[in-house]
Structure 1
């Protein structure tokens, strides 16, 4: 109760205390300068129509206009034969507004201008629309999770990165999966088949661990585009979708913004060092585990976990001349996964100070870009290098005694080099534009297991069994590495004539791993009825993506000859612009996914080099006498899938000239997504019989007939492995996805916003029973292995829904403004199920074991007791303040 009163007091202090403005007239100074040289522009007319004010700049380029009240006003500049219109926010008397005019006669650089971006399967939002979206602590990029066709994935699991397929099924008994862990799925695509870009440079991952926050500072994000289908030819290396984030690219005036709340602090600064050189710096640090543990530890759910993270961004912009610009930038982030209550007790006991999960990952990208622009062309040359590193500690303990049976540390390092040469050309002004270029990517991944520990007397036996039975585990212990490169060329024409729009194009992708060359034709088009502002849209595109995981391409434990995955995107839609800032879009889509990389226990290379160093040391004569040996490849391109559905998006934009008004959007997606791994499903008896037969024969040849395997053995026998797999729901399938984001600005000082999300439950395979594991007696425990239904993904979890609420209070001062905000995240304390947990120490009991696991990251909550001693679930309260200098 004390904490509740404390929160209420803060609420009244920050939200009902406001400054009384005594001024009735605001005198604003406008300063006009040339963007290239910074020199003042004299004799220019400045007009504010709605304020009924105008003025002419003097020799220093200044003009003073009077405004009746704070708010947004349309400002028109008339300089010679140039007329420019923009919207500016008037906050206080004496405010100085700097307006930079770009010269037309030299064809000056306009880096931030859109060049006829296709509206088909693209959803874009600007910073002023997303900066204060409720429930995300001021994180603009989280708004992309409210876009149609976007499904939140499972970014962090028990076994991240290289451990995703090492022995997981053997321990848990979980049926095979038709998905992988990752951040987002776009229109049914794989979560690791998307590409993320920041200012055109590859972005390793968009969100910190657990989807808590984006890896980019809120004030740095100018806008973003989400391409969910048939994306432009410039974008490749993806079969799912593209998320392209654009950062601040021009500094008109110096400013600093500091944002502080209960869970994080971030800062942003932009400085104009000289008329032609600007610098942008930003950073962020979060501390949710510290705050929650120190302020209200009893409210934290037992299974709640948070990641500690920080990120940084730095950018230098040099406008060499009106035609040329050079920019250098670096950005990155770091995450450490740490449990809450478990972590606190761990530290109190004085034990190992490392987090129990031992998950630590980071990335850094350094990039340089040169832009050369003339009257009818723009050439962009970009280069970047990204380093990604991950540390993961795996511990297998005795569930009865917590004894460390086995543990190891894994280190993964990944290096990505990216280069692009892109030309944009006005072939026929206002009618035909051309975009083309070349891209190059090279990737190197290193994997190494180290610091193997155990306190169990049977450790040597367990370790040897793992080494001998699992090539994947053996490759981790010995170390593994993959290297490959990709090159691509792309071209696209953007044509428009009267109401017709047509963008034909394509790209050619080469991949060194398989030596393949793939052509990807793409085309989008439509017709715009100017009289009604109605657009008919259609598109088709082929997309390719190379394998992404080290365990898939490993020469020791995987299949180095895997091909690129392929997808086909088809879309048809209609868009309508409506009066008073309203617009809507309706699209239907059908995507096909082919050559999906899946775990395959039947794919074999009969003549693989017998070069396993560990086995060579143990039995060198075997390697000498048999230089070639059969080897399981463990992966193949056998997967197939599709996704089809309909999307609806309606948006209301507030007129920036109005002091008050409503804004927001509604997105809805109804879809069906299925996958087929095309893997033969054998009964336990069939698997046992096959193992006995294969122990007495050696495979000499393997071929594929459709999706079936035909094997020939040295005893002159053949084996036909019939694919009896079937199309089943995708692990991340959700039939219905609804997002409602709204805001209302009552005045220049007050604003309220809300966000409501509803997702159909994701599918899962129910547990129907459990078998007692007799071997567990060796460790002094009775263990039970769950038995799953034969009908894969035949049940669904309860629907996910949540409401977030935010209040904003703005105070304007001569030096800037203060924005105090109060958020109620998960307003009605909804517990959304994200999985189920089976207690291996207990027998199966319907409704009790397995028990539900709740999402405490995407849908956080706190727990408390009511006067009767019952547990109640409450929203997360986040109070923060943003200050702009």
Structure 2
């Protein structure tokens, strides 16, 4: 009898959060935590076959979690699925003696937790050996060989044991999944392939005299997923609050249609956007006050029209980092939160492809090696909502001539000529268009008649070089691109066509374990041609009014914006349990027609203290400035001499990680805002002329609250989280006015998500969301404008009432079909399962004497499929 100890089985999906310390810092200074090397079994100890099981010729599999330290030692073994009959005790005793080559996170040894299956295979005892001596026979030739591959992905299975039970022979596959036997007797023999986390594969092979039998086996994973990683403990974390979402965790969250970036809207501190759209409302601020980055550099948009899907293909993502506030000096020019999207490198083992189709869009990705050092990835997506909505019959209201449509595409080349150098070239394009035709004027505004056409688009080309040595890392990125925003409605129009250039260069040097110095240069510039004939855009807190009563503003000229910044940061660990991260960022901004450049100084501090091995205390304070944006610094619509908005941010909290796959974190935050840009009726002298000031830095604000996250990282079958935010965001637009709510204030926001993988390739998940209704300004009457014959509303106190609260249940069901060489996922994503449309606003009749709630989308089923190989 022999014991078969299965080799290392990594989890089929990611758990991004693990025991402290966690998080990480890439060579660019961006929070990461990438598993760059999995643990490798170096010394395996064979368990004694339990006598009870041997007597009954029983077999068994013991599933367990193994905690591996940064030195490769086994620190803990926990049985998750016992087999009984003495198998559990024997397996634990053997595994405790295993030795591993340690895993690496960001190329640094780090502790991890893996799932491991110790399998016992009963084999009859070999016949007695003749005690007489003899001459050794020559080594027999290889006459049976083959490969063991994962079914569906064709990934080589490293360390799988291939057994010939009747002959009491076995071998282990290499890194390429290959195996071979010598001198197998002629005839038909049973073959068994065993690997932790996979179903046992049994077949029979016939060996013929004088020939080599070759076989290829596709072994079924118990819980199938194209992703492979582990629950891990990342390198030290320098951000006060950071949540990193790995793609494998969130590909199938209900209500997201498989779009990884939409999952950010379910995290603490993020309010529900109107119509479940693509706006990111972080800690009560407006979406424009938060920054969206791709690999550390800004992108103009995160989502296509209406938030249906993101502009970057989820299949090409590695992870998404979410920082709601008190972020490091690496980021700047914003007073809200940060979303940093991390793209991944192309897979280099072979050509891979994925094709997805649903009722809204289709997308495809292909990637693989060009040479040993050069890889590529290409992705694209096209919607066909216009075709679907074109089938809807017209009603009595305005007819829909051209429905929303969008497309995007990505190209990434990665070249690694030397071990310390990585070059990447990335191209991105995205375009959205919405066109409508109104058959008749709107009741409240007779000027809205004719075409409505909205187009947004951007293109970017990014070149990046990364250098990584023992102590020094360098990261330089250059971006050249263009952005187009075009809007036409009736007689009003706006067109912004800009050329964008950016440079980010970062250096990091490790002086020793307690001290790291990082810093860099961050320059963003935009050169735009702007033509417009529109009303002044509404400001925060301004309720809508009939546009016919407002003055039309015009402009036709060139505008430039230039934001050069430099930053420095020290990561100091005076004792093992304490990390102190002081930082300083110097920002400047220059606009067309500005009298002189403006500069701001932004000191920041983050502190983390590991109270115990599982409990971490954290806190931070910092100064953040946000320069005027969009039309605000223009002469025609705003004020080129505006100052930057300022936010003083404070937060304290704690994290508890009793087990690597479980995380509990809570945080109290307070943002003190001043210099908020508000409407001004004053005049100023500019270039010797008296002109309207239009905008000024006269507002103040305060945002405070509490955030809670309970997260269960994806291990074998289950993952999910509960996030809750209690907050209040208030502002005062003039010293004389009273405090009032921000437009996006939501007192309570609760999200609960769970997903479970069932046998036979099934997976079910649900998402339950609740949010307080947005503030609204009540209409208390109306007056008739004699010049336009339009009723103008009279409003009460700004944002003094709330819309009804929102609650919604989303459900998703997946079925995986796994074939030898490819896999197919078919899913039903049911948004708003119990058909409870959210109240998104209040609609009025022509004279505002009658009103009704304006509701969002009802139940929305999305059926889709995705094939991959």
- When normalised by structure 1's length, the TM-score is 0.69
- Whether 2:792 is the aligned partner of 1:785: answer yes
CA distance in 1, matches of 2:761, 2:597: 61
- Whether 2:773 is the aligned partner of 1:764: answer no
Q: 1:192 aligns to what SS in structure 2?
A: helix
1:564 maps to 644
- Whether 2:628 is the aligned partner of 1:530: answer no
Q: 1:601 aligns to what SS in structure 2?
A: strand
Label 1:68 to 1:440 Cα distance change in 2 as closer, same or farther (>3 A): closer
1:750 maps to 762
Asked whether the 8 Å contact 2:615–2:657 carries over to 1, the reply is: yes
Label 1:667 to 1:300 Cα distance change in 2 as closer, same or farther (>3 A): farther
CA distance in 2, matches of 1:548, 1:651: 36
TM superposition shift of 1:502: 1.4
- Whether 2:684 is the aligned partner of 1:605: answer yes
CA distance in 2, matches of 1:208, 1:549: 19
- Whether 2:732 is the aligned partner of 1:732: answer no
1:213 maps to 309
Label 1:71 to 1:217 Cα distance change in 2 as closer, same or farther (>3 A): farther
1:271 maps to 368
Label 1:335 to 1:26 Cα distance change in 2 as closer, same or farther (>3 A): farther
Q: Which moved more, 1:297-306 or 1:138-147?
A: 297-306
2:117 maps to 50
- Higher helix fraction (1 or 2): 1
Q: 2:263 aligns to what SS in structure 1?
A: helix
- Whether 2:479 is the aligned partner of 1:384: answer yes
1:189 maps to 285
1:249 maps to 345
TM superposition shift of 1:440: 1.1
Q: 1:126-525 counterparts in 2 under 5 A?
A: 126-153=246-273, 183-253=279-349, 254-294=351-391, 307-338=404-435, 356-395=451-490, 407-429=491-513, 431-449=514-532, 470=551, 473-476=552-555, 479-496=556-573, 497-513=575-591, 514-525=596-607
CA distance in 1, matches of 2:663, 2:396: 43
1:665 maps to 721
TM superposition shift of 1:296: 8.1
2:627 maps to 546
TM superposition shift of 1:447: 1.2
- Whether 2:704 is the aligned partner of 1:589: answer no
Q: 1:588 aligns to what SS in structure 2?
A: strand
**Deviations 1:786-834 (CA, angstroms, capped at 9, x unpaired):** 2211x22111000111111000111111212111101111101111111
- Whether 2:655 is the aligned partner of 1:578: answer no
Q: 1:145 aligns to what SS in structure 2?
A: helix
Tell me the matched-pair count.
662
CA distance in 1, matches of 2:173, 2:226: 13
- Whether 2:714 is the aligned partner of 1:654: answer yes
TM superposition shift of 1:654: 3.0
Asked whether the 8 Å contact 2:346–2:376 carries over to 1, the reply is: no
TM superposition shift of 1:272: 0.9
TM superposition shift of 1:368: 0.3
TM superposition shift of 1:90: 6.2
2:848 maps to 844
CA distance in 2, matches of 1:216, 1:72: 35
Label 1:343 to 1:776 Cα distance change in 2 as closer, same or farther (>3 A): closer
TM superposition shift of 1:263: 1.1
Q: 2:249 aligns to what SS in structure 1?
A: helix
1:458 maps to none
Output the aligned Cα RMSD.
3.8
Asked whether the 8 Å contact 2:240–2:608 carries over to 1, the reply is: no
TM superposition shift of 1:245: 0.5
Q: 2:289 aligns to what SS in structure 1?
A: coil
Q: 2:220 aligns with which of 83, 91, 109?
A: 91
TM superposition shift of 1:91: 3.4
CA distance in 2, matches of 1:59, 1:149: 44
Q: 1:251 aligns to what SS in structure 2?
A: coil
Q: 1:129 aligns to what SS in structure 2?
A: helix
CA distance in 1, matches of 2:600, 2:508: 24
Label 1:50 to 1:92 Cα distance change in 2 as closer, same or farther (>3 A): closer
- Whether 2:125 is the aligned partner of 1:125: answer no
Label 1:741 to 1:675 Cα distance change in 2 as closer, same or farther (>3 A): same
CA distance in 2, matches of 1:749, 1:737: 33
**Deviations 1:235-258 (CA, angstroms, capped at 9, x unpaired):** 111111111000112423331111
CA distance in 2, matches of 1:762, 1:630: 39
TM superposition shift of 1:345: 12
5+ residue gaps, structure 1, are: 1-24, 31-41, 74-88, 101-111, 157-180, 347-353, 396-406, 453-464, 610-627, 679-722, 778-782, 862-874
- Whether 2:198 is the aligned partner of 1:67: answer no
Label 1:134 to 1:299 Cα distance change in 2 as closer, same or farther (>3 A): farther
Asked whether the 8 Å contact 2:242–2:321 carries over to 1, the reply is: yes
**Deviations 1:831-875 (CA, angstroms, capped at 9, x unpaired):** 1111122232xx333xxx2222222xxxx22xxxxxxxxxxxxx2
Q: Which moved more, 1:761-770 or 1:643-652?
A: 761-770
Label 1:43 to 1:135 Cα distance change in 2 as closer, same or farther (>3 A): closer
Asked whether the 8 Å contact 2:709–2:721 carries over to 1, the reply is: yes
- When normalised by structure 2's length, the TM-score is 0.70
CA distance in 1, matches of 2:238, 2:398: 45
CA distance in 2, matches of 1:344, 1:256: 45
TM superposition shift of 1:474: 4.3
TM superposition shift of 1:737: 0.5
CA distance in 2, matches of 1:811, 1:669: 39
TM superposition shift of 1:300: 12
CA distance in 2, matches of 1:434, 1:72: 49
